[in-house]
Amino acid sequence: MSQLKLNFRSVTTLVIDRDRYTRSLVGQMLRGFGVGGIESVDSGEAARKYIQDNFVDLCIVEANLPDMSGADFIRWVRREQKDPVRFMPILVLTGYTQLRMISAVRDAGANIVVKKPVSAQVLFDRVAWIARTPRAYIETADYVGPDRRFKELVPPGGRYRRETDAPVQDAMAKQANGDKA
């Protein structure tokens, strides 16, 4: 059976991480996927400036930026930007010591949370999942972002083809979207 092809050539990605080498590592993976536009910055403030002047199709951000939390950055995108920027897909990378931040970035409106170290396989599968899976957005007084109760349908037989196909359960909210975040 032939595999589905994804075309990342016209996609612009913004990578936000305090560490230069981590930005380079993620950039090399994205280059391998064929992503045509890869920009990287080292702080939330630099990311804000970039987003105000440029259109970004996908944002990959670490959970704990040097000048603000990843959650604050995501809230700024979801609350203060106009359409379509505020619906920009946001993938959050968390370090080992940042796992406590998972619920904070999820409740700020992240599309998906991925634990570091991230492999090329996992990054590809997560980005492909974000790109190919239609997902409702919710807007309430407390929350703007993708539906946190979203559940991916399990394939027939209940088995994923690969372990990495399964979504990160930590990133899935159990509470209703109308509840206080």
Q: Which of 46, 72, 95, 172 binds other proteins (CB under 8 A)?
A: 95
Positions in 130-169 near other proteins (CB under 8 A): 130-132, 134-142, 147
Spatial contact of 12 and 55, defined as CB atoms under 8 Å apart? yes
28 makes contact with other proteins (CB under 8 A): yes
Phi-psi label, residue 109: left if phi above 0, alpha if psi -120 to 50, beta otherwise: left
For residue 91, what are the contacts with CB-CB under 8 A and spacing of at least 6?
Answer: 58, 59, 60, 61, 110, 111, 112, 113, 114, 126, 127, 130
Which one of 31-39, 102-110, 151-159, 166-174 is the stretch in contact with other proteins (CB under 8 A)?
31-39
Q: Which of 1, 4, 153, 158 binds other proteins (CB under 8 A)?
A: 4
CB of 52 to other proteins, least distance (A): 17
Token couple for 6 = 């994804």
Query: What would the x/- binding string for other proteins be over residues 40 to 69, using CB under 8 A?
Result: ---------------x-xx-----------
Element (H, E) at 92: strand 90-94
7 makes contact with other proteins (CB under 8 A): yes
For residue 29, what are the contacts with CB-CB under 8 A and spacing of at least 6?
Answer: 118, 120, 123, 124
Which one of 6-14, 38-46, 73-81, 102-110 is the stretch in contact with other proteins (CB under 8 A)?
6-14
Strands (E) across 95-155 are located at: 112-115, 137-139, 144-146
Q: Which residues would be at the binding site for other proteins (CB under 8 A)? A: 2-11, 19, 21-22, 24-25, 28-34, 55, 57-58, 83-84, 87, 89, 95-98, 116-121, 123-125, 128, 130-132, 134-142, 147, 177-178
